[in-house]
Structure 1
Amino acid sequence: MAGAWGRGLALRATRGGDLANLLPGLALAAGLAAVSYALRDLSGLAFVSPLVLGVFLGMAARAAVAMPAVARPGLKFAARPVLRFAIVLLGLQITFGKVAEVGIDGFAVAALALVLTFLFTLWLGAKLGVGRELTQLIAAGTSICGASAIVATNSVARGTDEDVAYAMACVTLFGSLAMFLYPLLPPLLGLDAHAYGLWTGASVHEVAQVVAAAFQGGQEAGEVGTITKLTRVMLLAPMLLALAWSARFAVATERRTGPPVPLFVVAFLLVIAANSLGLVPASVAAVGAVVTPFLLAMSLSAIGLESDVRRLSAMGLRPLALGAVATLFISGTALLLVAVL
C-alpha cells in the first residue's frame, strides 16, 4: 500500500514538471530536517520534536535569506504530497490491539477529552475572533496529537503557512509547560500511576512530551500514557473525515463544489487495519518508525521556509490566548474524566 502511494507521489511529481525541478527544494527541506535532528540530539532536548524544530529553523532561514526561486517547487511538494505520505506511514506504528490495552474506560477518556476539547476550541475561537482555519489547527494540535495533527488537519482546513506556524508555536509552548508541570501534580491530586499515565496521555500535546512527562511517574504510568497517546493519534483519521465532510456540506450549501474526503486519511486507516491484522512485516514497521518522523520533519521545514514571520506577528495574541485556554480545558476535562471513569 505504501509503495502504491509512493508511485502516486512520483506520478504527481512528473505531471507537475520535471522531477529535477523538485530536487533543490527537497534537498533543502531534507537538510533542515537533518539539522533539526542533530540540534535535538546535541542539545539534549529529547522532549523537543524535530518536527517543531524543523518549522522554526525554516522560519529563521526564511527571515535571514531570500528563498531561491529554484527551491519553491520542491518545497511545495515536500509540504503537501510528502506530508500526506508521511501521515499514511504513521499507521505503521498503531494497531487496534495497542489501543485495546487501555481498556474501554481509557479509550472513553481519550475520545471524550478529544471531542469536547475540539468543539470547545472551535466555539471559543469564534468568540475571540480568531480565523476559522487557525482555530481548527489549534483545536487539532491541542486535542489530538500536536504537530502531526496540525499539518494533517491543514489539508482540510487549508490555512496559510503562517497559520500552521502559529498553531505549532502554541502546542510547543503549552505542551512543554504541561510536560514540566504534570509530574509535580500526582501527590496533590491523589493520582496513582495508572491514572496519572492516562491523564497525561489524554491531555498533553506531543508524543515526545507525553513520554517525557508520563515516565516520570514510573514505568506503568509511562506505558499507559504512551498507549493512550497512540489512541489519540488513531482518532486523527475519523476527526479529519468529520472535518472534510463538514467542509464539503458547508460549501455544498453555497452551491459550489466542496473538497473531497482526503484519500490519504482513508489510506491511513487501511494501514492501521493491515498492521492490526499482522499483514505488515516487522521489518517494514521498523523502517517506517525511522522514515516517518523524518518525512514529517522535512514537510514542516518546508512549511517554515514558506512562512513569513511578519505575517505571523500580525496575527496578534488572541490565538495564543485560545491555545492557552484550550490547553487548560483539555487538562481539566481529562482529569475529570479519569476521576469519573
Structure 2
Amino acid sequence: MTSATDIRHSPIKLAIRKTIAARVESARAIIPGIALTGAIALAAKSLHSVPGIATFSPMILAIAIGISIRNLVGTPSFAAPGIAFSMRRLLRAAIVLLGFQITLTQLAAVGAHGLFIVIGTLVATFGFTLAAGRVLGVDRKLSELIAAGTSICGASAVVATNSVTRASDEDVAYAIACVTIFGSIAMFVYPVLPHLLQLDGAAYGLWSGASIHEIAQVAAASFQNSQHAGEVATVAKLSRVMLLAPVVLALSVAPRLAARGTGGRSARPPLPWFAIGFVAVAALNSVVSIPEGARDATVALSTFLLTVALAAMGLETDVSKLYAQGLRPAILGALAFLFIAAFSLALIKFAG
C-alpha cells in the first residue's frame, strides 16, 4: 500500500516542484533588469514632455539614455537576464499590440491609388537600400535594418526586423540613429516644400505618409500644412506600418527558400509568430468593436513596451563598436532617405 509520504515524494511531484522552483527563480532573476529598463522608459517618457526634446519619441530617448548608462557607468551584471527578457519577449509582445493601431478600414481609406504608391515606394526603397549597401560594402544585416527603418516605420521597424535579422545591438543602434536623424531632417524640411513642388493638401499628406520615417515625424510635418494633409498622412503612414508583418515574414522565409533551392540549410531563425500575431490583432481590431478607452490603453502599452525594449538595447550597445562601423552606413541611410523622398514624390506626380 502506497503511503502519503511516498505520494508526496513521487517522481512526478518532485519534477513539478523543481519546475515551479526554476520558474520562480527565473522570474526573480529578470526583475532587476526589467525594473532598470522600465525606469529608463519612464524617464524617456518624462523627457518627451520637455520643450525642445519633444521632437524625439520616447523610444529614441530611451535608447540614448541606455547607451549613456552603458558607456559612462556600465550596465550592472545583475540586470542582464531582465535586459535580455526586455529585448526579446517584451519586444515581441509590443509588436503584436501594434495591431490595435490599424484597421482594414483605414487601409481602404488610402484607396487603390494611395496603396499603390505606398507599397511601390516601400518595395523600391527596400530593394534600393540593399543594393546600395552592397555597393558601399555595408554589412547585409545592417543594410536590412536601415532598409526596414527607412521604408516602413523607423525605430519600430528596425527592432522588429532585427528579430529575424539577428544583427548586433550596435547595428540596431546605428540603424535607429540613421532613421532618427534623417526622419528629423524630413520633419523640418518637408513643410516648406508643398508650394515649391505644387502639392495640394492631399498630395502632400500622401507624400509625407509614404516617405517620412517615424509616425510622430509624419504627424509633425503634415499637420503643419493642414488638418486634411495630416489626416491623409496618418492613414498613409499606418498603411506602411501594416506592411511590417509581411516584410518581416519575407525576410524570415526567403533565406530558407534560397537554401532549399541550392540544397543547403539556412541558419536563419524560425518563422516569427509575433508578426502573424500582429496581423491577427489588426484583423480582430477591424471586425470587433473595441471600446476606445481599451484601444487607447493597448496603444499606450505597446509604445511603452517598445520603449522598454529600446532602453534594453541601449544598455547593451558599445559606442566603440559604433565608431568601428565608420561613415558608410550613415551614407547608406542618407541615400535611402533621398531615394524614398524622390521615388514617392515621382509616383505621386506621374501616377496621377
- The separation in 2 between residues aligned to 1:179 and 1:255, in whole angstroms, is 44
Map of 1:215-254 to 2, 5 A cutoff? Answer: 215-252=223-260, 253=262, 254=264
Deviation at 1:16, TM superposition (A): 9.8
Distance 1:337 1:287 in 2: 37
Q: Does 1:183 align with 2:191?
A: yes
CA contact (8 A) 2:86 2:309 kept: yes
**1:99-158 per-position Cα deviation (integer Å, ceiling 9, x unaligned):** 111111111111110010000001110111000110000000000000000000000111
Residue 206 (structure 1) aligns with = 214
- The counterpart of 1:107, out of the listed 115, 123, 134, is 115
Instruction: Indicate yes or no: 2:59 matched with 1:51.
Output: yes
What is the match of residue 141 of structure 1? 149
**Alignment match of 1:84 (pick from 89, 92, 97):** 92
CA 1:16 to 1:162, structure 2 compared with 1: closer, same or farther past 3 Å? Answer: farther
Counterparts of 1:261 and 1:331, CA distance in 2: 32
User: Do the aligned partners of 1:248 and 1:259 also contact (CA within 8 Å) in 2?
Assistant: no
Aligned equivalent of 1:301: 311
Alpha-carbon RMSD: 1.5
Structure 1 partner of 2:204:
196
Moved more, 319-328 or 65-74: 65-74
Maintained 8 Å contact 1:183/1:216: yes
Match runs of 1:96-175 below 5 Å = 96-175=104-183
In 2, Cα distance between equivalents of 1:110 and 1:97 = 16
Per-residue CA distance 1:31-67 (angstroms, 9 max, x = gap): 1111111111023433311111111110011011121
Would you say the 8 A contact 2:153–2:214 is kept in 1? yes
Relative to structure 1, is the Cα distance of residues 182 and 159 closer, same or farther in structure 2, using a 3 angstrom cutoff? same
Deviates more, 1:207-216 or 1:241-250: 241-250
Say whether the 8 Å CA contact 2:169–2:316 is kept in structure 1.
Answer: yes
Q: Which has the larger radius of gyration?
A: 2
Q: Does structure 1 retain, via aligned residues, the 8 Å contact 2:219–2:230?
A: yes
Q: Give yes or no for contact 1:202–1:334 (8 Å, CA) kept in 2.
A: yes
* CA deviation after TM superposition for structure 1 residue 17, in Å: 5.0
Q: In the alignment, residue 154 of structure 1 is paired with which amino acid?
A: N
Distance 1:258 1:132 in 2: 13
Cα deviation per residue 1:164-219 (whole Å; 9 max; x = unaligned)? 00000000100000110000101110000000000000000000000000001100
Greater CA drift, 253-262 or 287-296: 253-262
Q: Percent identity?
A: 51
CA contact under 8 A between 1:248 and 1:260: conserved in structure 2?
no
Alpha carbons of structure 1 residues 143 and 257: separation in structure 2 relative to 1, 3 Å: closer
Q: Is structure 2 residue 275 aligned with structure 1 residue 275?
A: no
1:325 aligns with 2:335: yes
CA distance in 2, matches of 1:281, 1:264: 24
> 1:317 Cα shift?
0.1
Query: Quick one: distance in 1 between partners of 2:211 and 2:86?
Result: 30
Q: Is the 8 A contact 2:256 2:266 kept in 1?
A: no
More deviation, 181-190/46-55 = 46-55
For the residues of structure 2 that align with 1:120 and 1:16, how far apart are their CA atoms? 48
Cα distance, 1:25–1:330 mapped onto 2, change above 3 Å: same
Change (3 A) 1:308 1:250: farther
Aligned residues: 329
- AA of the residue aligned to 2:193: L
Q: Can you give the 5+ residue segments of structure 1 that lack an aligned partner in the other structure?
A: 1-10
1:264 corresponds in structure 2 to 274
